A and B are shown apart, each in its own frame.
Chain A
Amino acid sequence: MGKFWSLLFLLVPILGVACFAVAPWYKIWLPSDVSEHGHMIDHLFYFILWLTAVVFVITEVALFWFMWRYDGKGQYRTAKFTHGSHSLEIVWTIIPSAVLLFIAIYQMNAWADSKIRNPAAGPDGIFGTADDMPPMLEITARQFEWRLRYPGLQAKGKLGGDDDIFVVNDLHLPVNEEILLDLKSSDVLHSFFLPNMRVKQDAVPGMKIPVWFRATEVGSWDIVCAELCGWGHYKMKGRVTVESREDFDKWLEEKYREQTATQDTQPVGQGDTE
């Protein structure tokens, strides 16, 4: 019986690794990446995953070995107690510190690219000027939906005019263009998450937070809320559709036409059949 427990504990690293190994077959691995900067995020993810995986397996195997080797049965030597080893403690403090420091420096560029080097802020990267890139749209998160506002067709990309176009939950974006959007919240904390673009940013009430990325593929994916925002959190599902510039412009024009309608177009058999 004695060896049984150590074998049982050996299952932990084996099953732990197996879970990761079979995950892609069950399609529970990372969602497809359709953004320009996503590979950097994924690279960091894999780097840290491998690092922790190696340490995890070594630790677990060591634990197993000690359990196996020093099993209670047949061991009659008296245990020897020590007050620890100073040098060993220094080693196990310095190594993880060095690893953490390395990760902190190694990830800096990815962080700066997605959160600090705002494309709106002009060539100097920090201070804005009047001709800096205006946001393509404004997203206001609220319980429990995403309210989107695009600049009107005559406004030349400037938000806040009386021809702004209002859409809900149905985000459309042009492909292969720098997307800059302002993220706001009208009630509580939300988090704007585009899993396939590797974009995640909290929406904070009272703040206007810029978010930028570049989508590289045409298609449609999910928008989800990644911050528990209330009982209807699960309802905050939106859809992002990435399309060619022409299709995008056409869609925007269509939305504008709908919004400025002075007549209703109820489906035939329902409304006024002229």
Chain B
Amino acid sequence: MKNNVYRELQAMTCLALATVALAGCGGSDAPQFSANMVAIADAQVPVAQQQELANVLEAMYGTPDEPFVLNESQLDIKLIRAAAGPVRSDQFGRETGLYRRHCGHCHGTTGDGQGPTALVLNPYPRDYRQGKFKFKSTERAAKPTEYDLERIVREGVPGTAMPSFDLLPEPQIKALVEYVKYLSMRGQTEIDLINAISALGEDEQLDTSRAVLVDEILVPLSETWTTASEKIVQPDKPAAEPTSEEKLASIAKGRELFYGTAANCVKCHGPSALGDGQTNDYDDWTKPLVEMAQRLKDQQKSLNENPDIPAAERNQQEAQIAFAHEVLTNDALPPRNAIPRNLRQNVYRGGRRPVDIYRRISAGINGVPMPGVGPATPGAQGTLKPEEVWNLVDYVLSLPYEPASTPPRQEQLKFSQTQQY
């Protein structure tokens, strides 16, 4: 009897040791990039193709521990290696794994903005995979410059959970910026590939030749990054330091524009500029989720309403809907509305310099409903003239110091009347 117990104990110890050894040395817990399941479910990529997709991405970009980039991506692998991998420092105190140390818990290993702390944050952390960035110096649809990303890392984004990393040494910030670009390019490549797969015919296979992957997908993508600095919105400098009368006149003009129909800021930012206008819109990261949920609902409804759909087809559709629902719950954060900024708080997410506000107004904010009123491309005709944008800048910057009761009552009434039509 005693012998049996002993033997059992021995077996258990062996098992425990084996488990530890496997976990410790097998590397089975090395972090992996997670697939963009929302896009995959949306495009209904078959399972076999999903594996193919993962293989192609790994061949082009490596893994979180062993990143890899093709020359055509124009990314600096040395910087990426410093930011990638597990959190460590060598005998000289040089740190690697910077991304996981500083960014990963919010932005996620994949850069999908779904790290462990993401759910409790408002706004959610940025998902880099769409390649859209909000606060930058370039035209609305263009990529940010490296300097723009660096500035965000240094200054943080006031009013959000993104803190300042100003005290990190310069090379570390450079490495992190390069890694963000890397994650963004990887994510966008993934979306491009999913689109390519969904465009395939019945029994076509994804063409994984270099001509397609590199020349058709990667090169144009990396060009959007390398040419970003040609697309900077550089405002004309307003005339020398304005007198206080000029400034007041400019503010008054800006105020008119704010309530006017051309700029129509009042529509979203509200008649009192408290961000209480239209608040039921979504940003580009959330819109696909909401639309997908709506589509699933419609699909379910049409299934319910048509009893003569053959059972095989019905089962297939139901499985599809169930899968998509699962993806929406597990691989995406619950949708939230895009709330227009309260302009009276004296908090400016993309920076408080007049040039920052000018760019927000002129180019708009990529990925969110905020439109640009400046020229869409250099030389084109914008909705507002540069002087008028400057008037708006002056007005917006004066708003935190303007009593909230200043908008005259008739103006608010006028607004509520126009809303009724």
Give min CB distance, B398 to chain A, whole Å: 7
Binds A, one of B70-78, B229-237, B298-306: B229-237
- Interface contact A266-B147, CB-CB below 8 Å: yes
Query: Does B258 make an interface contact (CB < 8 A)?
Result: no
**Interface of chain A residues 123 through 165 with chain B (CB within 8 A):** 143-145, 147, 161-162
Chain B residues within an 8 Å CB radius of A169 = 164, 166-167
Given the complex of chains A and B, what is the CA–CA distance between A260 and B241 in angstroms? 11
Which B residues are CB-close (under 8 A) to A258? 353
Q: Are B229 and A168 neighbours in the complex by a CB distance under 8 Å?
A: no
Residues in A whose Cβ lies below 8 Å from that of B401? 161-162
B229 and A271 contact, CB distance less than 8 A = yes
Alpha-carbon distance A264/B351, docked complex (angstroms): 12
User: Of A147, A162, A259, which contacts B398 at CB under 8 A?
Assistant: A162
> Contact between B117 and A231 (Cβ–Cβ < 8 Å)?
yes
Does B155 belong to the interface (CB within 8 Å)? yes
> Which A97-129 residues sit within 8 Å CB-CB of chain B?
none
Q: CA–CA, A263 to B233, complex, Å? A: 10
A89 interfacial by beta-carbon distance below 8 Å: no
Contact check, A170 vs B166: say whether CB atoms are below 8 A apart: yes
Checking A170, A237, A261, A266 against B229 with a beta-carbon cut-off of 8 angstroms, the contacting residue is A266
A272 within 8 A of B: yes
Chain B CB within 8 A of A37 CB: no
* Interface: B238 (CB within 8 A): yes
- Contact among A239, A260, A272 with B354 in the assembled complex (CB-CB below 8 Å): A260
Q: Is the CB of A271 within 8 A of B355?
A: no
Q: Is A39's CB within 8 Å of the partner chain B?
A: no
* Contact of A239 with B167 at beta-carbon distance under 8 Å, contacts A147-B158, A266-B229 already known: yes
Query: Shortest CB–CB separation between residue A102 and chain B, in angstroms?
Result: 43
Within 394-408 of B, Cβ neighbours of A (below 8 Å) are at: 397-398, 400-401
B161 sits at the interface (CB 8 A): yes
Known contacts being A145-B163, A162-B398, A271-B137, is A264 close to B234, with CB within 8 Å? yes
- The answer for the CA separation of A41 and B232 in the assembled complex, in Å, is 54
- B369 on the interface (CB 8 Å rule)? no
C-alpha gap A170/B166 in the complex (Å): 8
| CB of A84 within 8 Å of the partner chain | no
Q: Is the CB of A263 within 8 A of B235?
A: yes
| From B137, B156, B164, B238, contact of A264 by CB (8 A) | B137
- B145 at interface (Cβ–Cβ under 8 A)? yes
Query: In the assembled complex, which residues on chain B have CB atoms less than 8 Å from the CB atom of A231?
Result: 105, 117
A237: contacting residue among B167, B235, B238, CB under 8 A: B167
- B161-208 interface (Cβ within 8 A of A): 161, 163-164, 166-167
Query: How distant is A95 from chain B, measured CB to nearest CB, in Å?
Result: 49
Interface residues in B116-155 by Cβ distance below 8 A to A read 117, 137, 145-147, 155
Q: With CB as the reference atom, state the residue of chain B lying closest to A274.
A: B234
A47-82 near B? 1/0 per residue, CB < 8 Å: 000000000000000000000000000000000000
In the complex where A145-B156, A259-B352, A271-B147 touch, is A266 in contact with B164 (Cβ < 8 A)?
no
Q: Which of A144, A169, A262, A272 has the most CB of B within 10 A?
A: A262
B33 at the interface (CB under 8 A from A): no
Partner of A267 from the list B147, B161, B166 (CB cut-off 8 Å) is B147
| A221 CB within 8 Å of chain B | no
* Contacts of A157-188 to chain B: CB distance below 8 A: 161-162, 166, 168-170
Which chain A residue shows the least CB distance to B247?
A162
A271 cross-chain contacts in B, Cβ below 8 A: 137, 145, 147, 229, 232
The answer to whether B234 and A263 touch across the interface, beta carbons within 8 angstroms, is yes
Task: Verify if A238 is at the interface (C-beta below 8 Å from B).
Answer: yes
B232 touches A168 (CB 8 A): no
B399 CB, nearest partner CB in chain A, Å? 10
- Chain B contacts for A261, CB-based, 8 A: 353-355
A206 within 8 A of B: no
Interface residues of B in 356-403 (CB under 8 A from A): 358, 397-398, 400-401
Show 6 residue pairs from A and B whose CB-CB distance is below 8 angstroms, ordered by the A residue: A143-B161, A144-B163, A145-B164, A262-B354, A262-B355, A271-B147
Q: Across chains A and B, which 9 residue pairs bring their CB atoms closest together, nearest first? A: A145-B163, A168-B164, A266-B147, A261-B353, A144-B163, A262-B354, A145-B164, A270-B147, A169-B164
17 further interface pairs, Cβ-Cβ under 8 Å (given A231-B117, A258-B353, A266-B145): A143-B163, A162-B397, A166-B352, A168-B155, A168-B156, A232-B163, A235-B163, A261-B355, A262-B235, A262-B238, A262-B354, A263-B235, A264-B234, A266-B147, A271-B145, A271-B232, A272-B229
Which residues of A pack against B, CB within 8 Å? 143-145, 147, 161-162, 166, 168-170, 231-232, 235, 237-239, 258-264, 266-267, 270-272
